[in-house]
Amino acid sequence: MAYLFTSESVSEGHPDKVADQISDALIDHFLAFDPNSKVACETLVTTGLVVLAGEVNTSTYLDVQNIAREVIRKIGYTKAEYMFEANSCGIISSIHEQSPDINQGVERQTATDDFETKANAQGAGDQGMMFGYATRETDNYMPLALDLSHKILQEIAEIRRENKEITYLRPDTKSQVTIEYTDDNHPQRIDTIVISTQHDEFDEDEAMLAKIKSDMINIVIPRVKARLKPELQALFTDNITYHINPTGKFVIGGPHGDTGLTGRKIIVDTYGGKGAHGGGAFSGKDPSKVDRSAAYATRHIAKNLVAAGVCDEVLVQVSYAIGVAQPCGIFVNTYGTSKVNLKDGEIAKVVEKIFDMRPYAIEQRLKLRTPIYSETAAYGHMGREPKVVTKVFENAGQRAEVQVELFTWEKLDYVDKVKEAFGL
């Protein structure tokens, strides 16, 4: 019997995502001026106020107020009527030095450049388990419902910045997509699309709601659909149920409507409820925190396994003890889609030989100790396009121009190694 599966996404203007973007902007600036920085920073945003808190071990100084304001400005909170505006909001910082009790297990001093020595010396920044997932149902190996939810919001954000076809949009938006699957787990149609978008004040509420619904269905959705391959376009039938701003008026939004916190959208950030999640947030953490780095590494493994033809769908788990370099274990679940004559436990043993999952090795393999994190903080950390860009950072009279590689964990650079290891 056919079944339904749903995923949601939130825009860059959602209060939780505002907080994530500020936290990751701080991470990028710390790493741009001191690549060895150890940082864990949280952000809270509410009406007219930003609160920064966290722990830092670094040799640089940042003008955190200016960095936060630049992020808020870029998102689009630039009008006093939003009750949260880049130039006027208050910013309180309570960032302090990292505990030496934590740092001692992560960064043991080694007077050598030898890779093995460093990899064995750098322990995990915390205990816990991290998951990576991949599936064949989209070209970027992501679950379709989440991928479409992200794409809808990215299109709305682009339209908002163009300010031509739709001129009343404000930054805070949410989407949700429900997909109907066949018994053998193939998407066969889109059942429901939900969009809630913040908007300017209108004179008449009923006319406002009718216009917003028409614009979302007749402008946004066709633009999203036009960017998809034909087989995905075919999922957009005339039988989709649309819920557009289902509660009605949505003028009050963003941090004025709801308080935002770093790390509250971990399912949006990953796989939309598919697979599993270890519970640790990403944004605001430097790569010594395995919540972040190992989650990227397991996604890298999962994507390369599926792309190499080992399976059609896979979940990969890794776990750590704080201060210990070697993982406690690696787990693989192919959901019965394996194409190789090995049990999932045997596949995990092969994975252990291909991918070095010590934290230092992950940092080096995926080039994580570079300022690459602002781009991850909205529209998902997974399923994005890897690319090389040059970024410029300015802070308190300092300037750093850095060439970085974004979303390295999305590269299919281990496919040949995986094929060789599995005899494919």
CATH topology agreement for domains 3-7+143-252 and 128-136+276-422: yes
CATH architecture for the domain at 128-136+276-422: 2-Layer Sandwich (3.30)
The answer to whether the CB of 16 falls within 8 A of the CB of 257 is no
The answer to whether the CB of 39 falls within 8 A of the CB of 30 is yes
| Cα gap 29→122, rounded to integer Å | 23
Closest C-alpha among 228, 289, 243, 244 to residue 262: 289
DSSP assignment string, 240-298: -EEEESTTS---S-HHHHS-EETTS-HHHHTTTTSS---S---TTB-TTSHHHHHHHHH
| Cα gap 189→186, rounded to integer Å | 9
Instruction: Pick out the residues of the known binding site.
Output: 14, 16, 42, 55, 98, 172-174, 249-250, 258, 264-265, 281, 285, 289
The answer to whether the CB of 181 falls within 8 A of the CB of 23 is no
Instruction: Pick out the residues of the known binding site for ATP.
Output: 14, 172-174, 249-250, 258, 264-265, 281, 285
Handedness of CA 285, 390, 362, 315 (dihedral sign): positive
What is the tens place of the pLDDT at every residue in 267-305? 999 999 999 999 999 999 999 999 999 999 999 999 999
Q: In this predicted structure, what is the pLDDT of residue 102? A: 53
Provide φ and ψ at 298, rounded to 5°: -70, -30
3-state secondary structure of 143: coil
Place of tokens 């299109």: 155
The answer to whether the CB of 119 falls within 8 A of the CB of 356 is yes
Instruction: Pick out the residues of the known binding site for K(+).
Output: 42
3-state secondary structure of 195: strand
| Cα gap 231→265, rounded to integer Å | 30
Blockwise average pLDDT, block size 10, the chain, 424 residues: 95 98 98 95 98 95 96 97 96 83 56 79 91 97 98 98 96 98 94 97 89 97 97 96 95 96 98 96 96 98 98 98 95 97 98 97 98 98 98 91 98 98 96
Give residues with Cβ within 8 angstroms of 208, minimum separation 6: 199, 202, 249
What is the tens place of the pLDDT at every residue in 348-392? 999 999 999 999 999 999 999 999 999 999 999 999 999 999 999
In the chain, the amino acid numbered 68 is A
Q: In this predicted structure, what is the pLDDT of residue 98? A: 67
Give residues with Cβ within 8 angstroms of 262, minimum separation 6: 16, 19, 20, 22, 23, 41, 42, 43, 44, 281, 283, 284
Instruction: Pick out the residues of the known binding site for L-methionine.
Output: 55, 98, 258, 289
Instruction: Pick out the residues of the known binding site for Mg(2+).
Output: 16
Domains of the chain by residue range: 3-7+143-252, 128-136+276-422
3-7+143-252: in CATH 1.10.1370.30: no
Give residues with Cβ within 8 angstroms of 2, minimum separation 6: 180, 181, 182, 183, 188
Mode of pairing for the β-strands spanning 187-199 and 241-244: parallel
3-state secondary structure of 424: coil
